[in-house]
Amino acid sequence: MAKILVDINVLLDDFLNRDVVCKELIDKLVESQSELFITASMAATLDYFLNKYEADKSEFKRKFFGRFKIITTSGFDALKALDFEDGEDALISLSFQRAVGEGIIITNDKGFPSNSVKVLTPKEALKQQDIFNNENNKTIPILDLKKQYYYLIEDIDNAVLKNIADAKYILGSQVKELEDKIAGYIGVKHCIGMSSGTEALVLSLRALAIKLKGQEYFDKTDGIITTPFTFTATGDAVLRAGATPVFVDIDPITYNIDPAEIRECLKSEIQNPKSKIRGIIPVHLYGKPCNMDEIMDIAKEYNLFVLEDVAQAFGGTWRDKKLGSIGTAGTFSFFPSKNLGGFGDGGMVSTNDDELAELMRMLLKHGGKDKYNVDHIGYNARLDTLQAAILLAKFKFIDEFNAKRRSIAEVYNKELSGIGGLVLPGNNSTPQLSNSLTQYFTNVHVYHQYTIRVLNGKRDSLQKHLKEKGIDTMVYYPVPLHKMEVFDGRCRVNGGLKESEKAVKEVLSLPMEPLVGQETIMKVVETIKSHQ
Amino acid sequence: MKVKAVLKGDRLYFTQRIVLKTSEVEVDVEVPDEAVQTVEPKGFSEELRSLFKKTPNAKVDWKRQWYKHLEEKYNG
């Protein structure tokens, strides 16, 4: 999509001079998918004319900045701008170019310094149809992090600049603020920020080993049941905590760990005098909640901990309860591509257990209550204050973004339904009856991925076809964990894991950028339909 | 076939387990008159134009007027 800065003279020609050309231009731009900007240095001029012509400023702000975004003007931009004859205009083009790279400035000012940015008059811009073309003429990515940044640019830039100026870079107030806000949102007593989702898993397991066994690590004879159809970090964390991952198969419809398979595993494991199952790590894969009723029943029956891996499912629910609030603890990832993603690595653990929370707070800063009284083998696993500041800015929009993901999934579900050889992931939210008909619950899928199954060996060919048409897709995951070298001789396998081994050959995740328009999704749909 | 559902707030809950063959269902309801609005939507420019109480009498050179304002402000 085009990135366009509209100069003040064009905006005011539209709103106040009532210029017909500028009106047509602005209306067309607003209807298009193009990213529209002004710079912060333009705000003073805009403000002057809003006051002079007595505009309803709060309504103007709401309406105008619902579509136009403000690019921060930096001190560095200002220094460079002073090298130009018209420093004011140079400041605009320098800030714009820094923020977007390749873009277009639309202005009536013939002398506007281009600074290698394309400059057009409103009449010239109206003739360039590709500016208004809503179809992506380049690649459709799985996710568009730049688009998300532009959507939130004012909040994010403010958060970053403020954090840098505060100079509290390690465990600053934003970390606690984020922990408290997410704890309130999830519905737990404690949230503990971590340097990554992986460390969140490792430190949770270490804390569980200390609490349950009174030792730093689990033993190799301690088994932890989990799915092989997940990202390597889930199984890897079990190894790093000293235990042995015990892989059980998935449900072929949900792709999540199958509770029936967990039961089968426990029945056979219980016979094994050399091992003891300690816990279960259910992964809410792609954003879909696992069947937590059955998993928690099993855990209660066998006295196991449940560590929810919520890396892909922030904001999802089971029976109206937020994921991460149901098990003994929950782990989250703030990797940039996640539903709530930072600008680098980050993670979090949620729990109601005071002892586990205290242990994890020690483990993440080298294992002690303070630097010089260290009780445990610890890590440097703090969540950066800068990441926390960015996440606080993005957290305000998580429900909006998750709702957009569900809307996209509904379009895919509707438009791809009935195509032979494809299995779709199913409904957004499944009403769940309780035992009593007076209470009803909802399980909400937050679509971190929209993953289809392509039958009859055609997955790779469909992926290639989409790639040739400029549409990115991903295979999550191409190799189940029990087939990876790192787990060879270090895991136990229950049953044949047939469904996991089948899924890796058939799954394909489609573009799921929350901010794309329906036209983009329909292009994906039409391209899938055109595959022979 | 007909199945029963219970209305709670603005959500409908089925009273038995069902399998939906489509993600959309139609329900026969009555929409109160006040819920139906037939106002013609304004374009973006028109909406913003309507927010100004005053408009210039003639075409304005915005840059010149801005610089005039700055001169008056800083030169006294």
- What is A3-136's CATH topology? Rossmann fold (3.40.50)
CA atoms within 13 A on the CB side of A526: 9
Q: pLDDT, tens digit, for every residue of A328-355?
A: 999 999 999 999 999 999 999 999 999 9
- Give the residue-averaged pLDDT of A280-284: 98
**Residues in chain A closer than 8 A to B51 (CB atoms):** 55-56, 59-60, 63
Q: Give the pLDDT confidence score for residue A433 in this predicted structure.
A: 42
Pairing mode, strands A35-39 and A3-6: parallel
Q: What is the pLDDT of residue A137?
A: 55
Domain ranges of chain A: 3-136, 157-395, 398-529
State how far residue A52 is from chain B, nearest Cα, in angstroms: 8
Topology of the domain comprising A398-529: Aspartate Aminotransferase, domain 1 (3.90.1150)
| Residue A371, pLDDT score | 83
pLDDT for B40: 65
Q: Taking CB atoms and an 8 Å cutoff, what residues of chain B touch A433?
A: 13-15, 17
- In the 3-class helix/strand/coil scheme, how is A192-257 assigned residue by residue? EEECCHHHHHHHHHHHHHHHHHCCCCCCCCEEEEECCCCCHHHHHHHHHCCCEEEECCECCCCCCE
User: How far is residue A251 from each of residues A228, A229, A262, measured CA to CA in Å?
Assistant: 12, 10, 11
A244-247 and A222-226: which strand pairing? parallel
Which residues in B lie closer than 8 A to residue A23 (C-beta atoms)?
A: 45
* Residues whose CB falls within 8 Å of the CB of residue B36, separated by 6 or more in sequence, listed in order: none
- CA-nearest residue to B65 within chain A is A49
pLDDT digits (tens, 9 = 90+) for A231-266: 999 999 999 999 999 999 999 999 999 999 999 999
pLDDT reading at A510 higher than 80: yes
Total residue count of chain B as it appears in this document: 76
Residue-level pLDDT at A273: 77
Q: β-strand A507-510 against A450-454: which pairing, if any? A: antiparallel
Cβ of B73 under 8 Å from any chain A Cβ?
no
Residue B12 has pLDDT above 80, yes or no: no
In Å, how far is A412's CA from the nearest CA of chain B? 11
Nearest in space to A240 (alpha carbons), one of A213, A203, A276: A203
User: What is the reported pLDDT for B76?
Assistant: 65
Q: Is A59 on the interface with B (CB under 8 A)?
A: yes
Query: Which CB contacts under 8 angstroms, 24+ apart, belong to A132-135?
Result: A132/A28, A132/A29, A132/A31, A132/A32, A132/A34, A133/A32, A134/A32, A134/A33, A134/A517, A134/A519, A135/A519, A135/A520, A135/A523
Q: Residue A391 and residue A300: Cα distance in Å, rounded? A: 35
Arithmetic mean of pLDDT over chain A: 94
What is the reported pLDDT for B39? 63
The whole-number pLDDT of residue A431 equals 44
Cα separations (Å) of A412 from A256, A425, A427, A465? 21, 10, 11, 18
Token representation of residue A518: 């329906």
CB A116 within 8 A of CB A103: no
A218 versus A135: the higher-pLDDT residue is A218
Number of helices (H) and strands (E) in chain B: give both, helices first.
2, 2
Query: In terms of Cα–Cα distance, which of A120, A131, A107, A113 is closest to A45?
Result: A107
Q: A157-395: which CATH topology?
A: Aspartate Aminotransferase; domain 2 (3.40.640)
Of A208-212, A384-388, A444-448, B25-29, the range with the lowest mean pLDDT is B25-29
Report residue A429's pLDDT band, with 50, 70 and 90 as the boundaries: very low
Query: Edge-to-edge, what's the strand order for the sheet holding A507-510?
Result: A422-423, A450-454, A507-510
Q: Give the closest residue to B42 by CA, choosing from A126, A15, A490, A388.
A: A15
State yes or no: pLDDT of B19 exceeds 90. no
Strand order of the β-sheet with A440-444 is A321-322, A317-318, A440-444, A429-433
Per-residue pLDDT of B25-39, as tens digits, reads: 667 777 665 555 556
Q: Which of A266, A272, A215 is nearest to A242 (CA)?
A: A215
Angle value at C-alpha A332, between A434 and A329, nearest 5 degrees: 60
Residues 32-71 of B with CB under 8 A from A: 43-45, 47-49, 51-56, 59-60, 62-63, 66, 69
Rounded Cα distance between A331 and A307, Å, is 7
Among candidates B23, B44, B62 on the partner chain, residue whose Cβ is nearest the Cβ of A30: B44
Looking at the complex, report in whole angstroms how far the Cα of residue B41 sits from the nearest Cα belonging to chain A. 13
| A370 in reach of chain B (CB within 8 A) | no
Find out whether A312 and A450 touch, Cβ atoms under 8 Å: no
> For A451, how many CA atoms within 13 A lie in the half-sphere containing its CB?
26
The beta-carbon neighbor of A67 closest among B44, B60, B66 is B44
Provide DSSP, A268-333.
HHTT-TT-EEEEEE-B-GGGPPP-HHHHHHHHHHHT-EEEEE-TT-TT-EETTEETTSSSSEEEEE
Question: A63: nearest CA in chain B?
Answer: B48
Point out the residue among B17, B49, B53 whose CB comes nearest to the CB of A15: B49
Give A31's contacts in chain B (Cβ within 8 Å). Answer: 44
By C-alpha distance, which of A392, A364, A389, A367 is closest to A377? A367
Q: Kindly provide the ipTM of the predicted complex, given to two decimals.
A: 0.82
What letter would DSSP give residue A122?
Answer: H
Please tell me the predicted confidence (pLDDT) of residue A132: 83
Beta-bridge mates of residue B8: B11
Give yes or no for residue A311 having a pLDDT over 60: yes
DSSP B34: G
